A = this chain, B = another copy of it.
Amino acid sequence: MGRIVQKYGGSSVADAESIKRVARRIARARGEGNDVIVVISAMGDTTDELMDLALQVSPFPKSRELDMLITTGERQSAALLAMALSDIGVDAVSYTGSQAGVITTPIHGNARIIDITPGRVEKALDEGKVAIVAGFQGVAQTTKDVTTLGRGASDTTAVALAAALGADHCEIYSDVDGIYTADPRIVKSARQIRMISYEDMMEMAAAGAKILHLRCVEYARRENVPVHVRSSFTDNPGTWVVSQEELKGTDMEEAIITGVAHDRGEAKITVVGVPDRVGNAAAIFQTIADADINIDMVVQNISDLSVEKTDISFTLPAEDGRKAITAIEHVKDKVGYETIRYDDQIGKVSVVGVGMRSHPGVTATFFSALADAGVNIQMISTSEIRISVIVGAQAIDDAVRAAHTAFGLDAESDATVYAGTGR
């Protein structure tokens, strides 16, 4: 008996049969006396198909119209789910993001939630109905236009609604059954994590774990919403993402390292032979920022003291590689660098854990393990609770396994469940 938000991803509602299956799961939660709010993604590949259609009509579709188009996907699955629930005797009503009061900034394709005014949802719950909300979308406060929150952001919708409606917790359903200490496809002995702090989960997400959207975890942390990540295909308990205080109150053994994440989606750009003048590094990073590209790690080496030139290397999403090179070429005359090197045969491997704050020597353990495994480190970056290295693409799996073993994360028996940490 309580109030819960459940979020189902596109793979959980891929066709009519899946929608009926999800409806039965929701009916069970409602039957246990809970207020249930459901946030839903578009069916299967609907969003991709609509994007294809848009590109057939226009090579550079306007983002406002793209948002009008693709938000229909979640609206369809929300309406279908409401029908399926009514069909099994559960009163339900569907809402668009706008109807549910998801108020956003006006940035089409990448809007941020600035307020939730869930009056209609509250009313539906008061009337004993299950409220179904189309995920991933909202309405811009200023323009009243339909916006999207960026791909995968239905998780954020769910957590934001959970906070606004004072839900006990938020359940995020997908086709994986939780967060693992490493990707089980790489590390056979990876273990499912039963509880993880928001901080660790944010670092894991930023380091490449794709299960939860980073913004969603940020939101959950800010609003202190417990998130339960689980599979819609089983009844197994998943992973709880909670505050550090909550975590400390349990009998969970505190590990130094919570998990090992990896990311194959980055590329490295090196600007070679940059004259060592004030403002040159700024000029390079300004042109990258102007191109709306987020960079990750940065390293600057003095390559040749005698000629006062440096090399500047940084990593970025590989999909932005071409755009970044074009941007840097634009400032070639101004900066006077020699050449640009591009390498997408790299990967990032990170160890994450709030435990490392109170345990010195984590860096040494990590680097020794990599050295013993014959893995060469190209770049390093650290935060208070994360150490990341860039390695060659061929060394990623070895690096993940070596770190997992070195920090004592290996389970006694093999994990048999598919999971997605660090995909």
Knowing A16-B53, A75-B72, A99-B144 are in contact, say whether A94-B65 is a contact too (CB < 8 A).
yes
CB within 8 Å of B: which A77-135 residues: 78-80, 82-84, 86-87, 93-94, 96, 99, 120
A189 to chain B: closest CB distance in Å? Answer: 42
User: With the chains together, A286 CA to B355 CA distance in Å?
Assistant: 77
Q: Contacting A57 at CB < 8 Å: which of B20, B50, B60?
A: B20
User: How far, in Å, is A2 (CB) from chain B's closest CB?
Assistant: 26
- The answer, yes or no, to whether A216 is at the interface (CB within 8 Å) is no
Select which of B54, B68, B94, B144 is within 8 A of A68 by beta carbon.
B94
Given A53-B16, A72-B72, A144-B99: A79 and B58 interface contact (C-beta under 8 Å): no
Chain B residues with CB below 8 A from A144, complex form: 99, 120
Q: Contact partner of A83 among B65, B80, B84, B93, CB < 8 A?
A: B65
Mostly, the A contact residues are helix
Contacts of A69 in B (CB 8 A): 75-76, 79-80, 83
Is A277 an interface position by the 8 A CB rule? no
Q: How large is the interface on A (under 10, 10 to 19, 20 to 34, 35 or more residues)?
A: 35 or more
Q: Once the chains are docked, how many angstroms separate the CA of A99 from the CA of B71?
A: 15
A374 part of interface (Cβ distance < 8 Å): no
Distance in angstroms from A186 CB to nearest chain B CB is 38
Q: How long is the Cα–Cα vector from A335 to B422 in the complex, in angstroms?
A: 75
A132 to chain B, nearest CB (A): 9
Decide: B16 and A56 in contact? CB cutoff 8 A. Answer: yes
A166 at the interface (CB under 8 A from B): no
Q: For the complex, is A61 an interface residue (Cβ under 8 Å from B)?
A: yes
List residues of chain B with CB within 8 A of the CB of A20: 57
- Asked if A214 is at the interface of the complex by the 8 Å CB criterion, the answer is no
Measured CB to CB, the residues of A under 8 A from B are 16, 19-20, 50, 53-54, 56-62, 64-66, 68-69, 72, 75-76, 78-80, 82-84, 86-87, 93-94, 96, 99, 120, 144
A-B contact pairs, 30 of them (CB 8 A): A16-B57, A19-B57, A20-B57, A50-B76, A53-B76, A53-B80, A54-B80, A57-B83, A57-B84, A58-B86, A58-B87, A59-B87, A61-B83, A61-B86, A62-B82, A62-B83, A62-B86, A64-B93, A65-B79, A65-B80, A65-B82, A65-B94, A66-B83, A68-B75, A68-B82, A68-B94, A69-B79, A72-B75, A72-B76, A99-B144
Across chains A and B, which 9 residue pairs bring their CB atoms closest together, nearest first? Answer: A16-B56, A72-B72, A58-B87, A68-B79, A69-B79, A58-B83, A61-B83, A65-B79, A65-B82
